[in-house]
Amino acid sequence: MFGIMIISRIAPTPSGFLHVGNAFNFLLTSAWVRRNGGRLRLRIDDLDTTRTRPEYLEDLFETLAWLGLNWDEGPKDVQDLVLRHSQTLRRSRYLEVLQDFMRLEVAYVCVCSRTDLEKRPCLCREAKNSFNPGLSRIRVDLDLPGAVKKTVTIWRQEGIPAYQLVSLVDDLDHGVNLIVRGEDLLESTGIQRALARLLGNRQGAERFESIRFLHHPLIQGPDGNKLSKSRGADALRVLFPRSGSNEALLELLEPEISRFIDSPR
């Protein structure tokens, strides 16, 4: 293989049991990376500790093993996650990037409650409120493709960085150059690209522009519903008991994986 080595990641959130849609994304990403001799990282989006539960973390590692998935970087098990890889250990890093957004004066402290925001426009951008890490939300107004204006939260009121900031920073820091994600995250891709552009050449953000994104269709379950969110009953462990082999699931997903690899979007 010539050219740059592919570095990609799978990024589950331990706020529920994994479902068939997750398995499809992980197997597709892995197939793409392995076919090209690249490296795969497991990144666990565990920052929202109010939603992370031990049984979800255990399910995650059990499921990856059951699927036969191997990864080159990232936590090997729950203990390794907690001690070395948890996003909660990287809080100061996310704060550092947040400070750049503040210094650039593109981000602002918003003190509106969720109900306020439903009732009236937020005027906090002009108000120049001061930041209280446990109470203030930090937002950025973005211009997305197609002249779409979008306001996104990069630091949550609960005192933790928001998904869009964390995903951007982790992908930059981990040297990721290929992201395979569902079409339901198309908007997130636009948001993260816009955030990276605002940072310019700070924090290595200029590299984000060269990341290749592949957005795959969401696969449909037997009932015709798109399997992007777990509704409990469609948890992988329920549909495919761990005592059995993974063959039936692989048979279900492999045609979709081959189709996408042969003609990616």
Listed in sequence order, the residues at least 6 apart from 225 whose beta carbon sits closer than 8 Å to its beta carbon are none
Beta strand 212-216 with 178-182 is parallel
Q: Decide: helix, strand or coil at residue 77.
A: coil
- The overall longest dimension of the chain from CA atoms, in Å, is 59
Give the Å distances, CA to CA, from 76 to 51, 60, 181: 21, 11, 22
- Is residue 196 close enough to count as binding Zn ion by CB under 5 A? no
**Least distance CB 97 / Zn ion (angstroms):** 21
* 3-state SS class at 141: strand
Among 69, 122, 198, 214, binds Zn ion (CB under 5 A): 122
Task: Give min distance, CB of 73 to Zn ion, in A.
Answer: 38
Of the listed pieces 77-85, 108-116, 209-217, 246-254, which binds Zn ion according to CB under 5 A? Answer: 108-116
The stretch near Zn ion (CB under 5 A) out of 81-89, 110-118, 162-170, 214-222 is 110-118
Do 10 and 223 contact (CB within 8 A), yes or no? no
* 110 contributes a contact to Zn ion by CB under 5 A: yes
Least separation in angstroms between residue 199's CB and Zn ion is 23
The reply on whether position 124 binds Zn ion by CB under 5 A is yes
Asked if 180 and 194 touch (Cβ cutoff 8 Å), the reply is no
Q: Scanning residues 38 to 67, which ones bind Zn ion (CB under 5 A)? A: none
State in angstroms the smallest separation of the CB of 109 from Zn ion: 8
Q: What are the residues whose beta carbons fall under 8 Å from the beta carbon of 221, sequence distance 6 or more? A: 20, 227, 234
Is residue 107 a contact point for Zn ion (CB under 5 A)? no
Choices 53-61, 73-81, 105-113, 202-210; region in contact with Zn ion by CB under 5 A: 105-113
Interface ranges with Zn ion (CB under 5 A): 110, 112, 122, 124
